[in-house]
Every structure is written in C-alpha cells, then in structure tokens.
Structure 1
Amino acid sequence: MSQSTFIPRGKHLIAGEWVGGGETFASSPAHGPSHPFSAGTVEDVNRAAEAAEEAFWTFAYASRETRAVFLETIADEIEARGAAITEIGTQESGLPAARLEGERGRTVGQLRLFADHIRKGDYLDRRIDQALPERKPQPRPEIRLIQRPIGPVAVFGASNFPLAFSTAGGDTAAALAAGCPVVVKGHSAHPGTGEIVAEAILAAIEKTGMPRGVFSLVQGGSRAVGEALVQHPLIKAVGFTGSLTGGRALFNLCAARPEPIPFFGELGSVNPMFVLPEALKARADTLGQGWAGSLAMGAGQFCTNPGIAVVPEGSDGDAFIAATKTALEAVQPQTMLTDGIAKAYAEGSDRFNSRNSVKPLLQTKSDGRTASPNLYEVEADAFMEDHTLGEEVFGPLGLVVRTKSDERMIELAKNLQGQLTATIHMDAGDAPLARKLLPVLERKAGRVLANGFPTGVEVVDAMVHGGPYPASTNFGATSVGTLSIRRFLRPVSFQNIPTDVLPEDLA
C-alpha cells in the first residue's frame, strides 16, 4: 500500500483490536469508491466503555510528560499518513484537498499545543492552604486542591470537520490531555477518514506503551448505539458537535441518567454581524463583499458561518446589499458534505421563501448534493416576531435584517438567542454605539469580534468556542483552545494527606 492509497478495513477499533461482523453500511462518498463498514452495536459500545474504564486506572495516573509524548506521537502518526488521509477525506466529504490539508495541520497543531500546555501544569489550578495548628479557637488543617480526570469520555464525530472535530479532534485531544480515555462514535459521513486516523492513534498507543483501552472507535450504527454510549454507566462526560435536534436529545438522555453526566454539545449558531452606521458609510462595498466570501466559504458549512447581518436602513445599507448580492452571484455551486445536509439546506431555503415578511434578494436552485447561495431581507420588527428566522440554516444562506435606529439595533441584539460568535463592524465614530452594544453581545455569545468575519477559529489559549444555549449546552465551557481540557477535569481537595501519598503533581 502506498502512502496515498488507503483501503478501509471497514471495522471498529476496540481496545487495540479491529473488530467487524454483523450488519454493515456503505459509505456515500462525493466521488470515488464506496466501501462497506461494520455498523456499531450496543455490545461494541459496552466493550469499548469497559476497556476505557480499565485503561483509566493507568492512563489517568500517568505523568503529564507521558501523556504529552502520547499526544505528540498521535500527531506524528497522523502526519505520516497525510497523503492517504487527504485522498479518502476528499472522496468522502467532497472538500478540496487544500481544505483537508489545512484541517490536518490544525488537528496535529492542536495535539502538540495541548502537549505543551499540560507540561506547564497551570491547567491543574493547584492551590495550597497551609495548616495553622496554633489558630484559635480551632486549628486549621492543611488543604490542597488540584484538578483530576473524571473518567472515560464519549466523543461524537462531526459531519463538517472530518479531522478537527472528529476522531482525533478537539474533544478527543482535550480528554486525552486531561487523562481521560475516549470512546469515539464515528460519523457515518466519513468512516474511512475516521478509520485511518484511528489507525494513527493505535500506532501511537503501541509506540508509547499506553493501555490499549485508552481509545476506541465505534463506527456507524443506529441511533440506539449513540444512546447506549451516552447512557453507559462507565462514561462520565460527552463531547458533541452537531445539530440542535440530535444534540438536545442526547443532552436529555445524559440528564436523565441515574447518575447525570455533563454533555458538552456545540449545537448551532447564526453568528450575527452588526454593521454600524459610520463603518457602513465608509466601506459598504468592501463589507458586502467580505460577508459574501464568509457566507459562501466551504458552502457555508461552518458552525461560525455569519448567517445574519443587521444593517441600518438607508442608501448605505442598500449599497451593502448590492455588493453582497453581486459577490454571491459569482459563486459557483459547491458540493455539500452529505446528501442529508444538502436536503436540509434546501428545506431551510424553502422556509424563508414561504415567509411573506421576507424579501428574496437572490434565489437559486440547488441540485442533488450541490448548494448555491441565497440572500434575503427582512425588517427588524418582523424578524423579532418570527423566531424561526433566527434559526441556523447550514449552508450559504444570508439574511439581512434592517433597523430604523440605533435603539432598535440594540433591542434586536437583546432579542437574540445564544450564539457562538457576534461581530461588530465599526469605525471610530461608531464607538458610542459599540459601547452600548458590546455588553449585550457578551451576554449572547462566547466570542465577540470587531471588523472581521467569524469563520476560522484560532486554536489558542484565549479562544472560546461555545456560548449560551442553543449555541452550546454549557456556557461555561469551550470546545476549542487549551481551556477545553478543563471540561474533563474536576477539582478535588486533599486534607492532611501525607505528601508521600498525594498525587505526584500535588506533593
């Protein structure tokens, strides 16, 4: 087998073994050959969870250096399979090779960033209160605090990021960095890509001597398989990136367990942009062109796609719309990730077409698995009365919301649901309005930015990729950046424990 050719086994990876048998499903690539894959079962989930629990007792108590080397070795093994990953990834997803190569770079960069981060140890938030034996009326004991891994974590692969939010993506990397074994429920949209990345993780397990149950991949399967995973008593947290409907169903199952567990779901967002008057007057054309580029990037299949632009009424706003429309008209049809996503995009467009309050500015017909941009306009009053207009449409669809005054713009912002991002486009003369708008937006979004577009999420210490519901199910967490590791830790206090008994990082 050459580096650039990969023929999937079509099996699950459970505790170091490739396991098949039972029912199968066929992959549905955008181009290239289809392959058969074993469909996961409840028994596969049980075996993987039990192996993860067994591995926890070794992996969770390994040194930070040991885990850091493991993460770096996974990155090395993914890079060693780079050409083959790109080949099957482009076939399954329809994404261009350059996008997959960039996503692979982000994935391995994230693994190495997390390795460096845990080596430093700051994420452990160690606190020590010395004993005060002479304190009156009662002496104070010595108390030490440290963050400890919580146990096996379930991760659901995302449809729109075959690498960065899937098998070895952010949730998996964060859990492993924290010291938690992982069971991945692979996404049926890219099972071959998931398998070759799992192969890289297995190679890293073998090279570094990690317990074999530290990682498992269960492919495909019915809805019952995902439900069994989040309800398994040995699973202690869940990481999920996907639809609001599917995520909310799994969230409810986690909450209804005899032992409820945290569900860290990133569910969807329309990522509104607020274009303030002075910026609009100075650069309406540039802003419209920039918005069109962000809307259409990757066929609009980003969770940070800015689907709504809030724009003042008047000629400057008209110029912004004209520039956006012209730029979108030049966008060629793009292949979407799955047939299901393409169908949902068409249904979302139909929803806008059916609203009398919504004015079509650019209407296109999407055929099969391809998508073309659509653009609509609505008045602020009608937008606030119809909350369905503020729901995510996954694809290159933009909605311009027109406001009559600064006060109406702020009221609209207060009316929004939770978002991953919110953007302010402003010039110096817009600062007074921006100062009024910013406190509203910080309550609505996990990331607020100025004079940019939110597509593209930097993997850095200060990044927050999350937000109030329905953007995510836990507003205090992020799925990107080093802070994401804290999702899979919990604080433990140790009182008067002898130092030769304490965890190594606290002694």
Structure 2
Amino acid sequence: MSTESVFYGINALTNEKLEGEFINASKEQVDEAVKKAVLAFGNYRKKEKDSIANFLDQIAEEILNLGDSLLERCHLETALPLGRLQGERGRTMNQLKLFATVVREGSWVDARIDTAIPDRAPIPKSDIRHMLLPLGPVAIFGASNFPLAFSVAGGDTASALAAGCPVVFKGHPAHPGTSEMVANAIIVAAKKTGMPEGTFTLLHSNSNEVGEVLVKHPEIKAVGFTGSFRGGKALFNYANSRPEPIPVFAEMGSTNPVFILPRALKENWENIASGMAGSITLGVGQFCTSPGLSFIQKSDSIDAFYNKLSEGIRNTPSATMLTSNILKAFNNGVQNTLAIEHVEELASGLASESTNVAVPKVFKTTIENFIKNDSLSEENFGPSSVLVEATSKNEILEAARNLEGHLTATIHGTDQDFEDYKDLFDILELKVGRIVINGYPTGVEVCHSMVHGGPYPATTAPQSTSVGTNAIKRFVRPVCFQDYPDAFLPDALKADNKLNIWRLVNGNLEK
C-alpha cells in the first residue's frame, strides 16, 4: 500500500479519465483514521439525541447545498441518468432525515426496567435495567450501483451515525469524485453541529488491500457492506480471522425468484409479462433486487406470456453499465448461461455500438435442467433473467424448497392460486427477507417496516436489514445495569424518564 498510488475517476460513457487525482490510502492513514474515530467515539456516543439528530439533518442539507455539481459529477462517473440521480439524492436525504426522527424520538434504544423487590422471598430481586448502546467505530464500504443512497452518506452510514458510532468509510473506486464531494458535506455538517473530529472519515482506494487492513484493524467493531458475494464473503472471512471477531453486515446480492402461478398466468399474462420486462431491465438490471429467476407452471397461456415478455425485451435498448468491469462480468455470465445445454435464449434487446453497453437477455429452460445446473440460480448482475418451466405444483414447491437465501421472492397469483399454493408462502418465509405479492421486487421503500436482507448467501447476517429504521440495531449491543445508582444511569434508564421515551417497565410499555 503506497500513498503514491494514484487513480482517477473514469467517465462511464467514454472510459476517459475525469478531472481529479485520488490517492490510495496507506496502512498508516487507515490506522490514523481509526484512531481518530476511537477518540471521537468517547465524545460522540455521549451526545444528546437531539444533537445527533441535528447532525443527520445537517448532512442532508449540506448534500442539497452541493447542488447540480454533485449530480453532474455522479452522472459522469456512473452514466446513471440525471433524473435517476436527482431521485437518489432525495432518497439519500430522506433516509438521513428519517433516522434523525428515530434518534430524536429516542425509543429505539429499547429501554427495559425491572424494579427491585427487596423483600421478595426466598431471594430479593435486584433492580435491573437494559438498553442498546453503540458498538464503536464502524467500517462502511460503498456500493457501485447506488453512488448516493448506498454510498458515502447512504443508509449504512446514516444508521451507524444514528446509533452513535463513528464511521470510517472506504469509498467505491467507481465514483471517487462523487464520494469526495459527499464526504466533504458530512465534514461540514459535523463542524457546524459540533461533532468531534474523526466522527467521519473517507478513505480512497481502488484495490482490496485497504479494505482488508480496515476490517482487520483491532479498533473497528463492525462492518457494513453492499456488493458482490465474493467481496462480502472476503470481508466476512477477514472479520472472523481476527483475534476479536466482529459482526459483518454484508448484503451480497440475490436472484430474487419470481413464482407465476397458473390462474394468474391465465388471467393476467399480459400485464405480468410487461411488468417483468420492465423490472428485469430497470436501471440496466443493476439492482440487487432485480428478478433474475422465475418459475412458471406450464399452461395454455404460457406462449402468449413468452411472446409478450420477449416483445418487451426486444424493444428495450442496450444501455451503459456502471463500469467496464461490471459489463465484462455480465457478458461472461450471459455466455456461460448460453453454454449450458438445454438453455434457450428467449429474447435479446436492441444492440448498440456504444461503449460499456449491456444488451438485455432472457433465457428459458426446464425444471429438470435447472436442478442439474446450479449456475442457473446464481446472480448475473445486469439485465438478464432465467425462466424455468415447471409442469406441476409439486415441481414448483420443490424448486422453492431447494432455493438458497435471497433478498426477495415474488408471487403472482389469484386468491384461488394462493389457496392452492399456500405451502409456497410457508417455504418462502424461510428463504427470503421480503415477499412481494403481485408486484415486482425492484424498488425498496425506505420506511420503518422494510427488510432489505435475507438468509445466507444473500447476506451474512439474516437477522438484520440494511434498509429501514431497524438498520440502526446492527451497530449496537444490549447492556444491562444492575442495582445502579440513579445518578449514574444513562438518561434513558433514569427514574424520571426525562427523555420522554417509551420504556418497558415491569413488563408494561409506558412513558
């Protein structure tokens, strides 16, 4: 690792270097950033809830203050349309403000109080109080496909800061200029709201070395990651090889299986096919919730469905992907799928001679062939999907039972379908983090009840979510205070409840 190792942002449309040099962080710089975060933690974790909430709100305001220059730089680095980036900026700001409301209200700390019973026989009962406290400095890794909402000031950073944890952020090399601008906005917000130096630090790197050093640093207490299975699993392994293992909250992608049940196919094949084509190709398929796998039971309507879906794919232009490496991986995945025996290319999108463009593809195969070829169930990040034909209800259910963990599963069905296939619901509850009915998995609402997670290999922590307000609980741990003097208790547990938060007192939820 050398401080002289320079890299550049790359124009995603032309592959040309963009303005600005970015230097790979050295091991010494990683250590310095973490040590500053440790010093900041002693102060930051004691900040009043309103102070932290104001900090999160101010970050949102500073991002908005960057104006169109942020969107323009981000567009150059990612080729994402300006309209999409404007919406993503809004989402980034809104989730910061959402966590600010959670922190300001305060009940998320899960305060529990069981008061003493000194005269209980045969053994007196102590006064016991519980709440969630921040873990410490957290390492966060930026995602390639959401350069704002899952990047420097994205949901992982927002939830960690909301929990009271300083963040050392490893920026994604695909959008270093964007990352630098947002990081500066966070630093400005920290200074304006009186947050200690080291509460947030951005580290640049276009190699894997910085990530390894960061995760293995003994003062890092948790990791947040969104990206590939290979990347997330590597960080998970680093974290578990430490003398003190730490939790890794890695969201590692998914093929998000879709089940199209017989009556729904018969009655609504046209709308389902149109919606599927749009979901497969949305954002050039560069969403972790894109539907990469579908199971369809053969019926009289299946050919009409295929024709409509194919029409939608054939009319979809090829489009620029985020990076040339992502495009290369996608094209390799397409060729590998085509090389499998008994896999048919159902439709292909409009070709283009432009740089870094992906051509949408849809394939179909039989359930027997799907079972024989594990690679058909693997994610190919981009605008492609595999349709699997089944001949019976039992084959559909068996396919569901054999699924690995995914972020989402979708069921298209009528009321009668749901009754006939009710076992499918029970199966999928054990396989995914979110079940979608008569919709499409692309699009993740940021709200209190959202779960963006799922069993391994979709994530390394199936009990958590990276979207929604419950994401804050990834970066805390429960601490119990027994027979503490009231003056020394955290404010959330003191007798007078001056924070006015909801607390579980002797089994009753009250303020």
Question: TM-score, normalised on structure 1?
Answer: 0.94
Does the CA-based 8 Å contact 2:279-2:442 persist in structure 1? yes
The match for 1:425 is 412
Superposition map of 1:193-212 within 5 A: 193-212=178-197
Find the residue that maps to 2:492 and give its secondary structure. Answer: coil
Match of 2:466, as an amino acid? Answer: S
Find the residue that maps to 1:212 and give its secondary structure. Answer: coil
Find the residue that maps to 2:459 and give its secondary structure. Answer: coil
Distance 1:29 1:127 in 2: 52
Distance 1:82 1:267 in 2: 32
The match for 2:336 is 351
Number of equivalences: 488
Find the residue that maps to 1:505 and give its secondary structure. Answer: helix
Superposition map of 1:84-99 within 5 A: 84-99=69-84
Distance 1:303 1:461 in 2: 20
Superposition map of 1:384-463 within 5 A: 384-463=371-450
In the alignment, which of 243, 258, 275 is matched to residue 290 of structure 1? 275
Find the residue that maps to 1:491 and give its secondary structure. Answer: strand
Superimposed CA distance per residue, residues 452-481 of structure 1 (whole angstroms, 9 cap, x where no aligned partner): 001010000000000001110000000000
Higher deviation after alignment, 289-298 or 362-371 = 362-371
Q: Which consecutive unaligned segments of at least 5 residues does structure 2 have? A: 495-511
The match for 2:18 is 34
Query: Aligned pair in 2 of structure 1 residues 366, 152: CA closer, same or farther (>3 Å)?
Result: farther
Identity fraction in percent: 47
Matched, 1:500 2:487: yes
Does the CA-based 8 Å contact 1:154-1:237 persist in structure 2? yes
Matched, 1:482 2:464: no
Distance 2:444 2:49 in 1: 27
The match for 1:12 is none
Superposition map of 1:234-383 within 5 A: 234-363=219-348, 368-383=355-370
The match for 2:509 is none
Query: Aligned pair in 2 of structure 1 residues 21, 355: CA closer, same or farther (>3 Å)?
Result: closer
Superimposed CA distance per residue, residues 327-377 of structure 1 (whole angstroms, 9 cap, x where no aligned partner): 010011111000110000000001111001211112466764101111110
Match of 1:64, as an amino acid? Answer: K
The match for 1:11 is none
The match for 2:176 is 191
Structure 1 residue 443: Cα displacement: 0.5
Match of 1:371, as an amino acid? Answer: A
Superimposed CA distance per residue, residues 149-202 of structure 1 (whole angstroms, 9 cap, x where no aligned partner): 000000000000000101000100000000000000000000000000011101
Structure 1 residue 37: Cα displacement: 1.1
The match for 2:60 is 75
In the alignment, which of 59, 64, 81 is matched to residue 49 of structure 2? 64
Distance 1:21 1:380 in 2: 53
Higher deviation after alignment, 357-366 or 412-421 = 357-366
Q: Which consecutive unaligned segments of at least 5 residues does structure 1 have? A: 1-19
Moved over 3 A (4+): 363-368
Does the CA-based 8 Å contact 1:346-1:366 persist in structure 2? no
Does the CA-based 8 Å contact 1:462-1:481 persist in structure 2? yes
Does the CA-based 8 Å contact 1:426-1:434 persist in structure 2? no
Structure 1 residue 21: Cα displacement: 5.4
Distance 1:82 1:393 in 2: 35
Find the residue that maps to 2:169 and give its secondary structure. Answer: strand
Distance 1:366 1:268 in 2: 27
Match of 2:346, as an amino acid? Answer: L
Find the residue that maps to 2:449 and give its secondary structure. Answer: coil
Distance 2:210 2:75 in 1: 27
Find the residue that maps to 2:18 and give its secondary structure. Answer: coil
Does the CA-based 8 Å contact 2:363-2:385 persist in structure 1? yes
Structure 1 residue 310: Cα displacement: 0.8
Does the CA-based 8 Å contact 2:266-2:299 persist in structure 1? no
Structure 1 residue 433: Cα displacement: 2.9
Structure 1 residue 122: Cα displacement: 2.0
Question: TM-score, normalised on structure 2?
Answer: 0.94
Match of 2:233, as an amino acid? Answer: R
Distance 1:431 1:56 in 2: 51
Distance 2:98 2:242 in 1: 34
Query: Aligned pair in 2 of structure 1 residues 45, 223: CA closer, same or farther (>3 Å)?
Result: same
In the alignment, which of 152, 155, 160 is matched to residue 140 of structure 2? 155
Distance 2:9 2:117 in 1: 65
Structure 1 residue 258: Cα displacement: 0.2
In the alignment, which of 41, 46, 50 is matched to residue 35 of structure 2? 50
Superposition map of 1:210-221 within 5 A: 210-221=195-206
Find the residue that maps to 2:389 and give its secondary structure. Answer: strand
Superimposed CA distance per residue, residues 292-315 of structure 1 (whole angstroms, 9 cap, x where no aligned partner): 001001100000001111111133
Does the CA-based 8 Å contact 1:362-1:375 persist in structure 2? yes
Higher deviation after alignment, 101-110 or 121-130 = 121-130
Find the residue that maps to 2:180 and give its secondary structure. Answer: helix
Structure 1 residue 33: Cα displacement: 5.6
Distance 2:170 2:484 in 1: 39
Does the CA-based 8 Å contact 2:3-2:25 persist in structure 1? no
Superimposed CA distance per residue, residues 42-61 of structure 1 (whole angstroms, 9 cap, x where no aligned partner): 11111110000000000011
The match for 1:8 is none
Superposition map of 1:175-186 within 5 A: 175-186=160-171
